[in-house]
Amino acid sequence: MPSYTILTIFGIYLTLLIGIGLWGKRASGSISGYYAAGKKLPSWVIAFSANATGESGWLLLGLTGMGYLVGIHALWVVFGEVMGVAIGWALVARPFKEYTDRYDSITVPDFLESRFRDTSHLLRKVSVTIILVMVVVYLAAQLVATGKAFTTFLGFNYATGVLVGAAIILFYTTIGGFKAVAYADFIHALLMASGLVTLAVVGIFAAGGWMPMMEKLRLEDPNLLLPLGSYGFSWAGIASVLSFAGVGLAFLGVPQLLVRFISARDQEEIATGSVMAVICIAVFDLGAVFAGMAGRVIFPGLADPETVMPLMSKGLFPEVFTGLFVVIVLGAIMSTVDSLLILASSAVLRDIIQKVFNPSLTDRQLSGYGKLITVLLGLGAIPFALAEVRVIFWFVLFAWSGLATAFVPVVLCALFWPRTTLAGALAGMIGGFLTTVIWVLAFKAHFFDLYEMIPGFFVGTALTIIVSLRTKPPAGARQEWLEVHQAVRHPAKQ
């Protein structure tokens, strides 16, 4: 059983989350408030919460495990994610914010439907289908991480960990809506950054220092210190680099991150938040990889590399710090689950029930239904998590890539190529998503395990462009595009 100290720290953390949920309740009485925090979030909240959402339990358990398993080779993940965040904030965020403010959008399907003048709601229906399929997979992976964390840190039964974690997340997410989610994720991001830096520094010190640690890794396996790992300069090595770096492509346009830009107070908040976002993601990822490498020296021969972070926190720190690391791991997981629940709930309520079937619902009715749908979606993911799929890193990456290949090519073309058409957007979205699924099922094992986001992104982009060139763009799209980019370049003239 866990100690009184750890349970006390855990109890304080739960009280904080409950307080945030109750505090956010006042802003959740309308559909815009519930799903987009009334578009009033400041820069520091959107920057840190976006990265916390994008990383999740994958960062603390999965990426530390990859650092343990492949050493320096895992730094390609760092490179890809830092570049993805930097490009996303520098190029995508501001025109996306300008478009969505003009359309009064509160979801990504809102934006796509308005941008392509889709009166048939086809884009909404396809978007919602993909979101729901991938979110269930994603939620299950995160709840698996919750179960692992409770088991490793606290000695709880795995199923109990999944159920307790789900109950906590459902409470503050359902009550407080996106405002509670964003501020909770800001706190989670601060905890994750401080925890990973501390873990890496203490871990390297416990391994004897930087140079002795590297020498011990070299003696165990020289490939741990090579940029291309055990593959060397080969097709397999190139595929591995592309796979690791390709993880960052999703930061250019997955819906759960784009909603942060929708929820920003104004363009100035996005400009201010960009530097914070890049620094935050670099600290996250470098801390995770270096902590995993130190863990390889301190705890060699682990059967499950994804347990290295919990083992280090228990073995290298006094009990009070172990309690803090329990909170950090759970916070990392919750920072993704809460956003996914809001994303899926908005897809069902805003994009289907309100926009397709019943536009006459009042704000109070929509807010109430949204909370009910959030609970039902959370409960629906629990049975999948109880099946205990163990490899968090690859399980999360599949869900991450499914959302990315469906949305990123279409969003990028919508923002930067006024010639993009409705038919092109539909073809790119469906083609990118199906390519991801088919690649995993039929081709991945035959192409050096090339990460499915790479072919999915390529096919999605190619189909969007090819079909758009053969079909007619929406009326007024080019003029609107010129106005949007003029406003972004010269914000004082808005």
Domains and CATH numbers, the chain: 4-393 (1.20.1730.10)
Sign for the pseudo-dihedral over CA of 92, 66, 143, 321? negative
Structural contact between residues 326 and 10, judged by C-beta atoms closer than 8 angstroms: yes
CA 39 to chain centre: 20
- Tokens standing for residue 73: 């080779």
What is the per-residue pLDDT for 388?
60
Q: What is the dihedral of CA 36, 42, 45, 48, to 10 degrees?
A: 110
The DSSP bridge partners found for residue 264 are 41
Category of 195 on φ-ψ map: left (φ > 0), alpha (ψ -120 to 50) or beta: alpha
Backbone angles phi, psi at 41, to 5 degrees: -80, 140
Q: Which two tokens stand for residue 376?
A: 């039902």
Both structure tokens of 347: 């897809």
- What's the CA gap between 169 and 60, in Å, rounded? 18
DSSP 444-485: GGGTTT--THHHHHHHHHHHHHHHHHTSPPPTTHHHHHHHHH
193: CB partners within 8 A, 6+ apart: 280, 283, 284, 287
Cα-only R_g, the chain? 22
264: three-class secondary structure by DSSP: strand
E strand or H helix at 263: helix 255-263
CA–CA separation, 381 and 444 (whole Å): 26
Virtual torsion, Cα 114, 118, 124, 127, nearest 10 deg: -90
What tokens does 256 get? 């759960």
| pLDDT of 493 | 45
In this prediction, residue 149 carries a pLDDT of 72
- The CA-based angle 178-184-185, given to 5 degrees, is 85
Q: Please name which of 170, 195, 164 lies closest in space to residue 184, comparing C-alpha atoms.
A: 170
- pLDDT tens track, the chain, 494 positions: 567 787 788 888 889 988 999 998 888 888 888 899 989 999 999 999 999 888 876 788 789 999 999 999 999 999 999 999 999 999 999 999 999 999 999 999 999 999 999 999 999 999 999 998 888 877 877 777 777 777 766 677 888 888 888 888 888 888 888 999 999 999 999 999 999 999 999 999 999 999 999 999 999 999 999 999 888 889 999 999 999 999 899 999 999 899 999 999 998 899 899 999 999 999 999 999 999 999 999 999 998 898 898 889 888 988 788 788 888 888 888 888 888 889 989 999 999 998 988 888 887 888 788 889 988 888 888 887 777 655 555 666 677 888 999 999 999 999 999 999 999 999 999 999 999 999 988 998 888 889 899 999 999 999 999 999 999 999 999 999 999 999 998 765 44
**How far is residue 256's CA from residue 341's CA, in Å, rounded to a whole number?**
10
Tokens coding 181: 């989610």
CA 111 to chain centre: 20
- The pLDDT of residue 494 is 43
pTM of the model: 0.90
Residue 157 identity: N
| HSE-up of residue 42 (Cα within 13 Å, Cβ side) | 3
The 3-state DSSP class for residue 41 equals: strand
The C-alpha atoms of residue 290 and residue 386 are separated, in whole angstroms, by: 31
The residue assigned the tokens 């990315």 is 404
Q: Side chain identity at 319, as an amino acid letter?
A: E
End-to-end CA distance of the chain: 60
H-type helices in 37-121, by residue range? Answer: 43-57, 64-70, 75-87, 93-103, 108-115
